[in-house]
Amino acid sequence: MTVLFLMTPNITVPTMTREHEFNISVFYEDTDMAGIVYYANYLRFIERARSDIARELGLDQGKMLKDGRVFAVVRVEADYLGPARLADSLVIRTTHHKLTRVRWQFNQKMYKQKRLIFKALVTVVSMTTTGRPVPLPPEIQTLN
């Protein structure tokens, strides 16, 4: 062990390999007349997972807002690969990393059983409520 560390002195556990898991149940409200989850609602689902990550990191988004700070989504790339239907149990697996001093990026995949049905790359920016970018909170600065 010691030898290993000597040989790779600057090794760190990469944040990207830690995966956050979040469960979603599909309800009537989420579906549309085509019988499947309405496309915009996938963004609601993955935001729940991101909020859970923020909470786990010790961030209180309500308090942040009172302090005049928010995470604003600035970019979403989403691929819809399969339908989700009423009563489906979905799992969202998210990895995330600090992209720049103000940008936080999430790689989010949604599974129905073992099948990948949706994936998205979401970038948020730490900003004031007036839209001025500010450094990410320390809780995220310390990530990878």
Residue 27 is a binding residue for a second copy (CB under 8 A): yes
Write out the two tokens for 98: 């600090």
Residues marked active site are found at 32
- CB 120, min distance to a second copy, A: 9
Residues in region 46-105 near a second copy by CB under 8 A: 47-48, 51, 55, 60-62, 65, 70, 72-83, 85-87
Residue 41 is a binding residue for a second copy (CB under 8 A): yes
- CB 60, min distance to a second copy, A: 7
Q: Of 33, 58, 114, 115, which one interacts with a second copy (CB under 8 A)?
A: 33
From residue 33, how far is each of 28, 80, 117 by CA, in Å? 10, 17, 19
Listed in sequence order, the residues at least 6 apart from 31 whose beta carbon sits closer than 8 Å to its beta carbon are 37, 38, 85, 86
- CB 122, min distance to a second copy, A: 9
